[in-house]
Structure 1
Amino acid sequence: MKTTVKALVIGGGAVGTSIAYHLARAGWDDVMLLERDELTSGSTWHAAGLLPLFNMSYATTHIHKYSVDFYKELEAETGLNAGFAVVGNLRMAQTQERMEEFMLYASTAETCDVPFEWLTPEQIKERWPLIRTDDLKGAIYHQTDGYINPADVTMAMAKGARQRGVEIVRKWQADAFDWNGTAWDVTCTKMIEKGGNLVPSDEQVVITAEHVVTASGNHAQRTAKMLGIKMPAIPVEHQFVVLDQDPKLVEHRAAGNAEHPVIRDADAQSYVREERGGWILGVYEKNAPAVFEHGVPDSFRADLFQLDLERIEEQYLAMIHRVPSCEDSGLKDDFNGPICYTPDGNPLVGPAPGLRNMWLAEGFSFGITAAGGTGYYLAQMMVDGEAEIDMASLDPKRYGDWMTTEFAARKNEECYDHVYTLHHPDEERPACRPLRTAPAYDRQKARGAQFGWVNGWERPNYFGPLDAPQNYDHDGRSFKRGGWWQHAVDEARAIRDGVGLIDATAFTKHVVKGPGATAFLDWFTTNKLPKIGRINLTYALTAHGTTRTEYTIVRNGEESYYLVSAGGWTDYDADYLRKAIEDKEPEFGRIECQNVTTQWGVFAIAGPKSRDVLTAVINDPDPATALTNKRFPWLSAKKIELGMCPVNAIRVAYTGELGWELHHPMEMQNYLFDLLEKAGEPHGMKLVGARAQNWLRQEKSYRAFGTELGRDATPLEADLPRFVDLNKDFNGKAAMEDIGIRSKCVTLLIDGPSDADPWGREALIHDGQKVGRLTSGGYSVAFNKSIGMGYLRLELCEVGTKVKVRMFRELWDAEVVQDSPYDPKNETIRKDASL
């Protein structure tokens, strides 16, 4: 057993063995995998082994697709049959709305080159006569996936890993992790059998590893405690049952018919597949409890929980309805085991918060499907420094330090019972809310705010009727233009024509100062640093030259800066910033970094009348000139007083109108809200939510982090050369230049359907070929048509180029327009006061 390795992988399930295999395949020849029990003894052994390609996430879809393709190649390499039954996956819809969900999902599948076909009820019945179809609207069929034997595929990956030099050690448990400054000293204990339990022995060894990966599955909470971090990876009970043989199924197969695909009846919250002449029924029912919130008991090994048939009775009856021939099949076997979840259903994959060379691969609710791709892309991150796809949506730091065990457990239960709900793109899930609220939350709620959730914060999406019922937002969701759409239109027009007020408190805010601050930020970001009292938009890059973070930088002094970034990525940004400072402080000098997100609230006021509103309340010797271009020019920052509230005001507007961001002490937010609301009344000021703001920023071609901006494209590919100063040296510059420009971000106006807009995941088609994809979408009040932003091949990026956008299985005309189609010369945003 080695005591010094390049990489140590903790956990011998499907995910851990895949990571070890792919690290070795990527060229690391000194990899060890440690398993506390036997390989597959966690959730892997009782997993149903399904391989569904269906996923709304761009990154997760790539991961699942890689797994499905990779598993088909394993036998040729290892000689072990992974037990992959490529029977396909039939996902059926009982309602038109469910079909619309499938159509939206198909947009993601098409952009990721996942094959699928559409089937009518008649075509389903013709292929698989045992399925009842009279109440179906149709189905989407993935012909390339199916199911696999979890133990077999894990053993095949383990053999492949061993063949590539990986040492796999069983019955050893990691008990402590200590960073020695250059590597991890991992204290490991030999585990022994005692009375049927697995218990620690007195034998210990310390393994020194340059990199550690945790893939500890159900033991994630124990891992988190040892590392001193938080992880919202907590298991939930998952049940499936195996039925005795179905005589009609046996007869059907004896006649030479192929095996049924995995049958997914989403409206019945269940999946069904063949199993030796019978059927397996798996369900995602309501009220499945979270387990092991504080760790897995030592006595729990490859164990199961008691089956709760009452909890799945409704789904069992629905199965009999869908496959009537199984009604007389008895119960042959049952499984109720723990499967790890996260609040949004996506795993935690990437660097651990605050730690060096510690990598997490935790929280896999679809672990078998994701294992292959996770190993592949995580190995790229570790070996090459970055993956070829943007993995930010899976980053462990998307949940901040505010997250608690109670939050994770309750949200994971919600996520489990939402597996088969209609996943509207405008969905907002209710569990554990409200949690993080700015002071003006109650005031906005009283004025009709319908809130969204961003990094735990409650943020108004739009403002509905004052007398709206409690379920107003839920009932207004749609795959087309939902009940909220007209409210967002009215809010967007208010900003274009008058004045609107937006709560932007969730913005991430950092103060960076000290003797080394200027030198550091000049190296850390792509743009020139602003002069004192001015602001700049800039980007921090990955070492590979792609976009890691977008910042608005306000320069308060020679060595004092205020950084504003996206609200959904506070800990993600903070971790990267602090680690970069730690690395460069010896070179540049002392640098202080403070996360002040919760100290400062933000209101954004915008529109042609915004100056009038602020002039009415500004405390200045000459209020009439205080906000003019001469005294307060565009892209500058000033400390002002609005009534009794001190405000750090920034003349910038994400909506592209005349406007200011008003950064204020959080404890004074209600006072400022009341002051602005009263001052805005004579001017018809309207409260505005995030959805209208999202549309407005697209009219200005403002890129957003997480959509147009990410770790799979450079700022130059995002077509933002004005924010990249090639005359200076900065982190990632050489790599960015080496990448070149592979595709480019463009804005498109779309002649779409009269009742729907794109959501920002649709394929772009030219001459019958996929040539790009949308990353954002919505409605333009300035042009009275749909709008979108996305990436196209370089030869198609010229203004006036015509392409097609696929929406609801049809192609709609779209045209590439100039950047910032609304007010391209920024005349509105620079507008001076009429004196």
Structure 2
Amino acid sequence: HLTGGVLLAATEARLDWLRGVVAKGRYLGIELEEISPNEAAELMPLLDPKQFVGAVRNKEDGHLDPSGVTHAYAKAARKLGAEVERFTKVEDIVRRPDGLWRVITNKGEVVAEHVVNAGGLWAREVGRMVGLELPVLAMEHMYLITEDMPEVAAWNAKTGTEIIHAVDFDGELYLRQERGGMLMGTYEKANKPWSEYQTPWNFGHELLEPDIDRIAPSLEVGFRHFPAFQNTGIKQIINGPFTFAPDGNPLVGPVRGLPGFWVACGVMAGFSQGGGVGLALSNWMIEGDPGADIWAMDVARYGDWATMAYTNTKVRENYSRRFSIRFPNEELPAGRPLKTTPVYDLLSAKGAQWGVAYGLEVPLWYAPEGVKDEFSWRRSSDFTQVAKEVATVRDGVGLSEISSFAKYKVTGERAAAWLDRMLACKLPKPGRMTLAPMLKQDGRLIGDFTLANLGEDGWFLAGSGIAEQYHMRWFEKHLPDDGSVRIEALGAKLTGLSIAGPKARDVLAKATRSDVSNAAFSFMAIGRMDIGMAPCLVGRVSYTGDLGYEIWVAPEYQRAAYQALMAAGEEFGIGLFGS
């Protein structure tokens, strides 16, 4: 049913967001058009144009019969040689010594090279069969179906077409025609998880008990924005569960440490996302690459910090904000702070405004007393303060907390040869560092690291913190089988600080007894030295591009190192800057 649709804006901020959607559509080849509220009302006769400030039209919007399409997919798969076994319960999944998987069902056993967990509501249970706890939670979701509406019948008779879809973001509603009436659904603020810890195996997609009081505030907005609903009855309220990951995106891809085991779950918008998920997985299995940048869906974006309680908190936040605007640089508060470094309280006292990277709190910028970030599509209140931080580093010296970088230790008799094959760079000599891109077989960049040769202590790598699981999955896939190379993600075992700016050497020289002159400690040098009383690993490099140093220190010494640097930097006007 290609009815077309309208996306509605009741505020100027939402209209700005919709203009961004139009721009993205232009890039992706999707025809979208900004229209006025009156033009929207001509296309969707149930809405009150006085409630809106603008709209966007999508001529390709529509809906389908989910049961019919599912059976059509199955029929097409059978034609291509697939076997579809209905009413077959998977009871266990066991990896054989040869790397293949035994899928044990109530009808027998299947041996497979690849197993995809597309368990939907049961994704957690399937994951637990292989020792995997997936960050997935089901939420109750309600929509109502009205009695037949004369306005719908009149439009159908007049145009010979269905009423087009509508999404009312500010009302947190979506609407489409359902037979002679309308369907209205909402993502209510007072949301409710379903079966938080495990999904019953005997659940057969039965409907749940509706609770109209939970969705009443959204319905009040809907009846105001679409007045015809005030004069019709409700025929049925549907309540059923569907699954989400903490950020609302699917969980897709190979699972680290389980070769041949894949996930395709948390796909809350099955028909709009399912085709892309299937294509990415098939490309990945056959070609070794999903065929596009799907990082936002990659299961590797979560680590063991995404516990059941964290997932519950973040999924509820995401569900309640399904139609809310997230402005540039806006950080969402649920489930935070979770992971912090030893200087978290010291930086908070200095006005740190926190973001999060791979579960870890990261200082983004520092707000003076009385300054609060106000988010918008224009310059937010942090702009002036960030400019001051930039000037501090450019003209003097600044300190930043950099524990959010991923840190790795590589050792073993063949470590050098392995790194030489994995990284597109010349290996540095002992006591030296280099920039180290990592490429796939086709030459595409998949990682950008700083590589340090620590001599007898092995090798040290620093890279993108959010990609730690992604990179460890790649590293482990390419490790030799004989144990001659070992790699460890150091995570919270190592914290970091960075000082940068033309006075950075002056600060470091005052904080340590080591010789940090340019002759003794030149650009891209690395070595161990004490900063104050704290033993540290210091490299002469900075991500700001200024004279600077990255300082790696065990967490029990980070406060001491921070305090020593701030004390040494006082006479040089040291300031804090964010990431």
State whether structure 2 residue 4 is matched by structure 1 residue 110. Answer: no
Rounded Cα–Cα distance in structure 1 between residues aligned with 2:233 and 2:104: 46
- For residues 488-511 of structure 1, the C-alpha deviation after alignment (integer angstroms, 9 at most, x for no partner) is 111112111111111111111110
Q: Deviations over 1:368-407 (max 9, x none)?
A: 2101121122211111211221122211111101221111
Q: State how far apart, in whole Å, the 1-side matches of 2:227 and 2:405 are.
A: 54
2:462 to 558, 564, 576: 564
Change (3 A) 1:218 1:370: same
Of 475, 486, 496, which residue of structure 2 is paired with 1:592? 486
Question: What is residue 90 of structure 2 aligned with on the other side?
Answer: 174
Q: CA deviation at 1:572?
A: 1.7
Identify which of 255, 259, 281 aligns with 1:356: 259
1:509 is aligned, of 407, 414, 430, to: 407
Q: What CA distance in whole angstroms lies between the structure 2 residues aligned with 1:467 and 1:485?
A: 15
Deviation, 1:666, is: 0.9
Q: Deviations over 1:546-585 (max 9, x none)?
A: 222222111101671011111112222222212221xx24
The one of 137, 150, 154 aligned to 1:247: 150
- Does structure 1 conserve the Cα–Cα contact (< 8 Å) formed by 2:190 and 2:215? no
Whether contact under 8 Å (1:428, 1:452) holds in the other structure is yes
Which whole-Å CA distance do the structure 2 matches of 1:547 and 1:669 have between them? 33
Question: SS at 2:492's partner residue?
Answer: coil
Q: Name the CA distance, whole Å, in 2 between partners of 1:354 and 1:544.
A: 24
Name the CA distance, whole Å, in 2 between partners of 1:628 and 1:92: 62
2:303 is equivalent to residue 400 of structure 1 = yes
**Preserved contact between residue 221 and residue 293 of structure 1 (Cα < 8 Å):** no
Question: Is the Cα contact below 8 Å between 2:415 and 2:485 reproduced in 1?
Answer: yes
1:680 paired with 2:569, answer yes
Preserved CA contact (<8 Å) 1:184 1:212: no
Q: How does 1:312-461 map to 2 (within 5 A)?
A: 312-461=215-364
Q: Is the 8 A contact 1:645 1:672 kept in 2?
A: yes
CA displacement 1:610-650 (0-9 Å, x = unmatched): 11111111123xxxxx2222111101111111110111111
Secondary structure at the aligned position of 1:451 is classed as: strand
CA-CA distance at 1:661 after TM superposition = 0.4
For 2:351, give the aligned amino acid.
G
Kept in 2, the 8 Å contact 1:130–1:325? The answer is yes
For the 8 Å contact 2:152–2:163, the answer to whether it is kept is no
Change (3 A) 1:613 1:105: farther
C-alpha separation in 2, matches of 1:180 and 1:323? 59
Tell whether the 8 Å contact from 1:186 to 1:207 is kept in structure 2 after alignment.
yes
Q: Residues 616 and 679 of structure 1 are in contact (CA less than 8 Å); yes or no, is this contact kept in structure 2?
A: yes
Instruction: Give the letter aligned to residue 671 of structure 1.
Output: A
C-alpha contact 1:185 1:206 (8 A) present in aligned 2: no
1:551 equivalent to 2:449? Answer yes
Write the distance in 1 (CA, Å) between the matches of 2:213 and 2:574: 54
- Tell me how far apart the structure 2 counterparts of residues 208 and 446 of structure 1 sit (CA, whole Å): 57
Aligned to 1:480: 378
Describe the superposition over 1:694-738 as per-residue Cα deviations: whole angstroms up to 9, x where unpaired: xxxxxxxxxxxxxxxxxxxxxxxxxxxxxxxxxxxxxxxxxxxxx
The answer to whether the 8 A contact 1:426-1:478 is kept is no
Q: Which aligned pairs between 1:418-817 and structure 2 lie closer than 5 A?
A: 418-468=321-371, 472-473=372-373, 476-557=374-455, 560-581=458-479, 584-586=480-482, 590-620=484-514, 626-690=515-579
Instruction: State the AA in 2 paired with 1:90.
Output: V
Q: CA deviation at 1:129?
A: 3.2
Contact 1:348–1:395 (Cα < 8 Å) also in 2: yes
Deviation at 1:183, TM superposition (A): 4.1
Measured in 1, the distance between the counterparts of 2:472 and 2:541 equals 23
Determine if contact 1:385/1:544 at 8 Å carries over to the other structure: no
What is the total number of aligned residue pairs between the two structures?
A: 579
- Displacement of 1:466 in angstroms is 2.6
Match among 71, 74, 77 for residue 161 of structure 1 = 77
Instruction: Please name the residue that 1:230 is paired with.
Output: 133
Map residues 13-412 of structure 1 onto 2, 5 A cutoff.
85-190=1-106, 204-256=107-159, 258-412=161-315
**TM-score using structure 2 length:** 0.97
Q: Provide the C-alpha distance between the structure 2 equivalents of 1:101 and 1:339, rounded to a whole number of angstroms.
A: 27
Deviation per CA, 1:108-151: give whole Å up to 9, x if none. Answer: 33332222111111221233333111131111222112212211
Matched to 2:452, the amino acid is V
Identity of aligned residues (%): 32
Is contact 1:101–1:423 with CA below 8 Å preserved after alignment? no
1:517, 1:675 → 2: CA distance?
Answer: 35
TM-score normalized with structure 1 length: 0.68
User: What is the rounded CA distance, in whole Å, between the counterparts of 1:319 and 1:426 in structure 2?
Assistant: 30
| Residue aligned with 1:268, SS | coil
Stretch deviating more after TM superposition (435-444 or 611-620):
611-620
What SS does the aligned partner of 1:575 have?
Answer: helix
Q: Closer, same or farther in 2 for the Cα pair 1:234/1:686, shift >3 Å? A: same
Question: What is the rounded CA distance, in whole Å, between the counterparts of 2:434 and 2:41 in structure 1?
Answer: 61
Which range is displaced more, 505-514 or 180-189? 180-189
Matches of 2:270 and 2:391, distance apart in 1: 46
Residue 188 of structure 1 aligns with an amino acid whose one-letter code is I
**Matched AA of 1:664:** V
Contact 2:101–2:114 (CA<8 Å) still a contact in 1? no
- The residue type paired with residue 648 of structure 1 is L
Q: Distance in 2 between matches of 1:304 and 1:286?
A: 21
- Matching residue's letter, 2:243: C
What letter matches 2:564 in structure 1?
Answer: L
**RMSD between aligned residues:** 1.5
Gaps of 5+ in 2: none
Q: Give 1:166's aligned amino acid.
A: A
Q: Which letter does structure 2 place at the counterpart of 1:145? A: D
In the alignment, the residues of structure 2 paired with residue 549 and residue 666 of structure 1 have an alpha-carbon distance, to the nearest angstrom, of 26
Amino acid at match of 2:422: F
Question: Within 1, Cα distance between the matches of 2:537 and 2:481?
Answer: 28
CA distance in 2, matches of 1:493, 1:258: 61
Report the residue type matching 2:100 in the other structure.
W
Taking structure 1 as reference, are residues 438 and 107 closer, same or farther at Cα in structure 2, changes over 3 Å only?
farther
Residues 299-332 of structure 1 deviation map (CA, whole Å, 9 limit, x = unaligned): 3112121111011101111121122112121111
Deviation per residue, 1:532-557 (Å, 9 max, x gap):
11111112222333222222111101
Contact 2:246 2:311 in 1 (8 A): yes
Deviation at 1:359, TM superposition (A): 1.1
> CA 1:183–1:638 in structure 2 vs 1: closer, same or farther (change >3 Å)?
closer
Q: Distance in 2 between matches of 1:658 and 1:257?
A: 70
SS in 2 for 1:349: strand
Q: Aligned equivalents of 1:611 and 1:108: distance in 2?
A: 45
Is residue 101–residue 424 contact of structure 1 (8 Å, CA) maintained in 2? no
